[in-house]
Each structure stands twice: as structure tokens, then as C-alpha cells.
Amino acid sequence: MPENATRSDVLVVGAGFAGLYAIYKLRKDGHNVLALEAGDGVGGVWYWNCYPGARCDIESLQYSYTFDPELVKEWDWTERYAQQPEILSYARHVARRHDLERHIRFNTRVSSARFDAGANEWHVVTVQDELFACRYLVMATGCLSEGQVPDLPGLHDFKGPIYHTGAWPRGKVDLNGKRVAIIGTGSSGIQTISTVAKEDVQLTVFQRTPNFSVPMRNRPMTQDVLSDWRAKHQAHVRDLYASKSGQLFDINAVPAAEMTAEQRKAALEERWAFGGPSFTRTFTDLLTDETANSYAADFARDKIREIVKDPQTAADLCPTDHPLGTKRICVDLEYFQTYNRPNVKLVNLRREPLERIAENAVVTTAGSYPADVLILATGYDAVTGALLKIDIRGLGGDSLHDAWQEGPRTYLGLMSAGFPNLFMITGPGSPSIAVNVILAIEQHVDWVARCLRDLKACGATRIEAEKTAQDKWVEAVREEADKTLFPKANSFYVGANIPGKPRVFLLYLGGLAAYGEICTRVRDNGYRGFVIE
């Protein structure tokens, strides 16, 4: 590595919630930390996803950092589910409060990283060909940060603007008076459709796979709710970390079969009225038993048919190809009601497949739909996308891409054998986007920080996952997934949305609490499964 490399003890890649907390925590521990961020500001997902209607689908009070009690006291969320601009302001506030920005190089995208075994350091190169060297490399590159743009025939022929929800232009996009075509009806699509439909537009929605969506029941935050949350914050944090999903909702401990039909219906109605993702926990076995799941799925389909006036549109919106909750459940603001508006049309691509994009239209086998603007709500190369976009080379120059040819292989989702001193925050094989991600981030960063303290205390400078421990963990991740209905869905959890991506369940489904205990046990047992030198 040439002498002109910029050196730090720790190099963090990414300045979303993971990167920000990593900078804070590792600096507090006395490390010299530098972060590189592709965007020109902090916030990650909440910086990039400024599409109309973007907001969190975990309640704002819970989708918040827990590490700083002062932050909890001084930040007033204004809604039960905050909108993207507010979450971005929160990330900026955290960065300012802890003076983090001066440790971040913005507009700096990492293109490759190579481990130099002799020097025991990582050499990192950016797209601008800048060079960095560090002992420890922390990948905080995000699980939903690599947008997926499908290879649609004729896409480049389209004359109007094309917007991907995950790279929405900053500033106002004026859609008024336009014919807008949107492709995709996952979480981002549903949020965009419900919002854009209210503008003076002709909106055509192109749907390949209908998704389950439950009402958000959003409402303004009240001072009473805020005060109560603050008063009980310590207990809430304890309960959040002791939970399976990192959320404080009540999980019904009773399996569906032990309830009468009336009790099941009443429980589903109650959760539908309450709003939010707790609907997927109406029965203890909703996500593990097909019959239990079918009660909830039938209920949700009945709701769609009740809400949507046109019977054909309602039928087209009813998901039938996956159990409810096995794709990320969407949480909406009157999404299905949107299809009763005269300016909104649904095109079912299962019935009339998309043929091509023309200069000013989307063409299916049944007709041509004029469009001035095209919105791609086509999702992300989840969990591994951003990591594998970087050419990462470990011991012997072996590439991460090759090592993960048949699916990602990690130990605890934290490290991968053959890649010493490279940590992944919310990496594949950890709970990550299966839970409240901010808590998953804090848990990972805390583990890494403690690990670096322990290495220092024993005079070690290198840690690497053992291959046998990693193989066992990969198997444990698969086993946990197989206990559930999740593998049955063609979701981004199994890479099904990316052509050629190996079909492997990407997340640990044993829950945040159980996973945290495993990581703590590993650490307390002298970092069992890791080699330390």
C-alpha cells in the first residue's frame, strides 16, 4: 500500500444508523475512526429513500436509538409512524449531538478492499481511487441500500424521467398533471402509490405479485404518550431487547387451533383495528403453521374485497402465492382504498405480462398504457447486495463474492472465515431486517466494540471466524428458518427478487433476544468459534 494512504484504526463504511453508532461507540472507546459514505449526508436509507409517502413501519418511539438517554428526552417524534424527513432529521440530530460528521468523508464510495496479511491491515480503495488503510474494517453498508433495477426490455427507450424509490431525487418532483406509471407493489410501492394517487395524476400501477398489507392507523404523537414513554424508558429498552422482534407488541401465546372461530375472528379484528405489524402475531403459530396462517390470510383477503369496490381489481389485489407475513408485511395508509379513486388503475402483470417499455408507455400483452413518468418501486438486493458490490478480498486474495457463490457464509452474521478483522453490521445470518433494525445495529456495534476492547486487553490484533463454527452457524440459520413458513415465499429474504441470486434464507429467525444471548455466550466463552492472534 503506497505511503499516501489515509490511515485509521477503524474504517467504517456507511453513515446510516449503523455507521453513525459505530463511529460514536468506537471513538468513545478511544479508537481513531474514519467513515466513508457514498452519499453527501448521513442517514443511509432515510437519506436515499425520499420518495413520496416514505415512513417507518415500526413505531417511531421503538424505531429509535436506545444508547443515549438524553436523546430520548430531547427528541419529540410527531407521529406514531414518522415520515422520512423526520427520521432523516433525527439521524442528522444524532450526528450533530455527538459531533460525528467530522469523522465522515462524504461522496466517497468504496469500490474494493483487500486484506494485507503481512501488514495485518485492510487496504481500501474508493471509486475516486483514494486509498485508505486500517486495522479493522466495519461494513455498515446497509441491508436495503442496493436498489434493484429490473432488466425491463426497452427501459432505456423511455423518454420521460425514471425514478427508483431508493434513489429518489432530492427536492420536489412535480408529478401534477402527469400520467404516472409505477412498477412494484412491495412496501415502498404501497407507500408511494397511496401518496402519489392523491395528487393531480393519472396513476397506473403495474403489479406482478400482490402483497399483504395491514392498516398503519397512524396518528399524531401526544405529549402524554411521549411523557409516558420517557418515564418508563429503561424498562422499555429492557423489554425491547428481551423480545423476539425488537418491538413491544403483545404476542398472543395461544395457537390458533386452541381458539374458537369466533375468538380468532375477534382477535384478528382487534389487531386490524390497532394497526401495524403486530397483526402477524395474532396467534402464536401464525408464522409457523399453515392452517393458523390461513385464518389470517383469509381475513386479510376478505378485508381487501370489502374495501375495494371493483370485484376484478379486488381479486387482483388478493395475495395467494405466499403465507401472510412471510414477505415483509406492508403497513399502509388506506392503500386498498386508493383503488376506488377514478384516477388509479391496476394492471395485473400475471394476467397480461409486461412486454416492453416504449418511449412514452408501458406495453403489456393486452395493451399500451401511456406514461409521462415511470416510477420503479422494484426493491433492493437485500442483505448481501451492498457488500458484494464491493470487491472484497481476504486471505490469499480470495474474493467474498466467490466465497459466497452458493449463498452468504458467516459466523453469527458478524464475520466470514477467510476475512480477518472485517466486521459486518446486521450482516447475513443475523436477525437484521427480520427485527427492529436499530436494535440489531446497536447489538452488533456493542459486540464489535467490546470485542476490540478484549483484543486490545490481551494484546491481540487479529480475529477471524473459524470455518467449522461458521458451517455450524449457517446450518443453524437454515434450521431456524425451516421451523417457520418464511422459506415458502419468493421474498427478498431468500433472494428471489434478484435473478441468479442463490436461494438461501438470509436472516437468523430465532429472534433478537435469543440471538443476543448466543453472541454474549460466544464472547464469554473466550470468543468460541473465532481465532484470535
Element (H, E) at 11: strand 6-13
Dihedral (CA of 184, 189, 190, 195) sign = negative
What does the DSSP 8-state code read for residue 488?
G
- 436 makes contact with ligand FAD (CB under 6 A): yes
Q: Considering only 11-19, 268-276, 407-415, 512-520, which stretch makes contact with ligand FAD by CB under 6 A? A: 11-19
Q: Select the residue interacting with ligand FAD from 9, 10, 63, 463 (CB under 6 A).
A: 63
DSSP helix/strand/coil, 74: helix
Q: Are strands 361-364 and 354-358 parallel, antiparallel or unpaired?
A: antiparallel
- Minimal distance in Å, beta carbon 136 to ligand FAD? 17
Sketch the per residue contact string, 142 through 161, with ligand FAD: x for CB under 6 A, - otherwise. Answer: xxxx----------------
Sketch the per residue contact string, 79 through 118, with ligand FAD: x for CB under 6 A, - otherwise. Answer: ------------------------------xx--------
Nearer to ligand FAD, 36 or 287 (CB): 36
Nearer to ligand FAD, 264 or 328 (CB): 328
- Minimal distance in Å, beta carbon 439 to ligand FAD? 8
Q: Select the residue interacting with ligand FAD from 185, 188, 192, 348 (CB under 6 A).
A: 188
- 54 makes contact with ligand FAD (CB under 6 A): yes
Residue 320, C-alpha cell as written in the block? 395467494
- 507 makes contact with ligand FAD (CB under 6 A): no
- 344 makes contact with ligand FAD (CB under 6 A): no
> Which segments within 129-208 are labelled E, that is strand?
131-139, 162-164, 179-183, 202-207
- 329 makes contact with ligand FAD (CB under 6 A): no
8 Å CB contact between 515 and 508: yes
- 386 makes contact with ligand FAD (CB under 6 A): yes
Q: Which 205-244 positions form the footprint of ligand FAD (CB under 6 A)? A: none
The C-alpha atoms of residue 300 and residue 281 are separated, in whole angstroms, by 14
**Straight-line distance from the first to the last Cα atom of the chain, in angstroms, rounded to the nearest whole number:** 23
Following CA atoms 151, 155, 157, 159 in sequence, which dihedral angle do they give, to the nearest 10 degrees?
-160
> Which segments within 397-461 are labelled E, that is strand?
422-424
The C-alpha angle 252, 297, 196, rounded to 5 degrees, equals 105
Q: Are strands 463-465 and 530-532 parallel, antiparallel or unpaired?
A: antiparallel
By CB atoms closer than 10 A (0-12, 13-18, 19+), residue 200 is: exposed
- 375 makes contact with ligand FAD (CB under 6 A): no
- 441 makes contact with ligand FAD (CB under 6 A): yes
Sketch the per residue contact string, 34 through 53, with ligand FAD: x for CB under 6 A, - otherwise. Answer: --xxxx----xx-x-x----
Enumerate binding residues for ligand FAD (CB under 6 A). Answer: 13-19, 36-39, 44-45, 47, 49, 54, 56-58, 63, 109-110, 140-145, 188, 386, 390, 425-426, 433, 436-437, 441
